[in-house]
Chains A and B, each alone.
Chain A
Amino acid sequence: MSTRPTHEQDVRVQQAVGNLLRAGVLLAALVVLAGGVLFLLRHGGEVPDYRVFHGEPVDLRGFAGIVRDAFSGSGRGLVQLGLLLLVATPVARVAFTAIAFAYERDRTYVLVALLVLSLLLKSLAG
């Protein structure tokens, strides 16, 4: 069992994890906002209808399609790319926490973080 972590170590991990979350969220928000502006400029006057479920086009369901659409200047593609970044933020946070605890030599919590990460990746893949 590792020795009791100091308060300073905890604060360093907190600051690092907090900064990563903030950066991920702001980046995702900027991409969604850019896509949203494009989308509203082109389609803002149309009447939305979500009553019947059609499902999204195949392009907007997977990573490769979303990236392709986003870079071809589609507003909806850009929004979807931003949403992918948003979903990736908590996952990146878990991976990053493992690194931060490794840096502070807290082996127990490196293991905890890696266990959460592997479970999370399993459910994302499944």
Chain B
Amino acid sequence: MNTLAFSATIAAASFCAGFLGSLTGLGGGFIVTPLLTLVFGADIRYAIGASLISIIATSSGAAAAYVKEGFTNLRVGMVLEIATVVGALIGASLVAVFPTRALTVTFGTMLLVSAYLTTRPRPEQQSADLVPDRMAARLHLDSEYPTSEGPSRYSVRNVPGGFALMWLAGVLSGLLGIGSGAVKVLAMDQVMHLPFKVSTATSNFMIGVTAAASAGVYLRHGYVDPGLAMPVMLGVLAGSMVGARLLFGARTARLRLLFAVVIVVIALEMIYHGAFGRG
């Protein structure tokens, strides 16, 4: 296979990665990394570099639309970014002392459990008699998002719990280099009780910042190859822009199912890499 055909194949697969990644808030790394390593036999370091680029491209490509349409909760995203970036800094400094393989298997198993949790339907809006969250009120986190019946208001629950889980998501992504989008969506959906579309759009908004924080390091170490990253970036970007157009009309129950399926794939990949080594 010559470089032209190779680039076209990667661009097509990356389109799917961007499409799924933008709808689920998970980024497209879970498709790009195994494609490059298992199918094309690329060294894992080149794959990690390309996968980081794919996450930033998914995030920024879809975020422009989600932010403008009002799906993304900018304030929630920014408050939680403090937790993830601090966590990522700590995680990256712990890589040398932690048994990352065992941790990857454990984390993968936890994700399998949470995939089940997300498929249970939950009312998209809480009953109005619930006591408002004090932190959410102080930080003006409550907001509204577009639905087919017009703007729908929602309030944010358990900000300290979400913040703590987000910090853990940051530590894990710094430590393992993967899986941070999954914990972000779970924290916002299961702990802070945001509407599901707001959770995926806000996660999508945040993963770009988390990935950009590590991209500098990988670029300096020579992991980012332009020949590989070019088709990945262009394919993912196109896919994420198409995906972002579909979020408004998508049924939440279907999105939850899609999210759960992707989480299972990510979990199995993590367990596989943890058990058999990822180079």
Contact = CB atoms under 8 A, between A and B. Distances in A.
Contacts of A79: 226-227, 229-230
Contacts of B78: 94, 97, 109, 112-113, 116
Contacts of B63: 18, 21
B67 A120 contact: no
B70 interface: yes
B191 to A, nearest CB: 20
A122 B88 CA distance: 11
Contact of A44 (B3, B40, B92, B220): B3
Q: Which of B81, B144, B217 has the most CB of A within 10 A?
A: B81
B81 to A, nearest CB: 5
Interface in B129-166: 138-140, 143-144
B57 interface: yes
B253 interface: no
Interface of A: 1, 4-5, 7, 10-11, 13-15, 17-19, 21-22, 24-25, 28-29, 32-33, 35-36, 39-40, 43-48, 50-57, 60-62, 75-77, 79-80, 82-84, 86-91, 93-94, 97, 108-109, 112-113, 115-116, 119-120, 122-126
Interface of B: 1-4, 6-7, 36, 40-43, 45-46, 53, 56-57, 59-61, 63-65, 67-68, 70, 72, 74-75, 78-79, 81-82, 85-86, 88-89, 92, 138-140, 143-144, 208-209, 211-217, 219-231, 233-234, 237
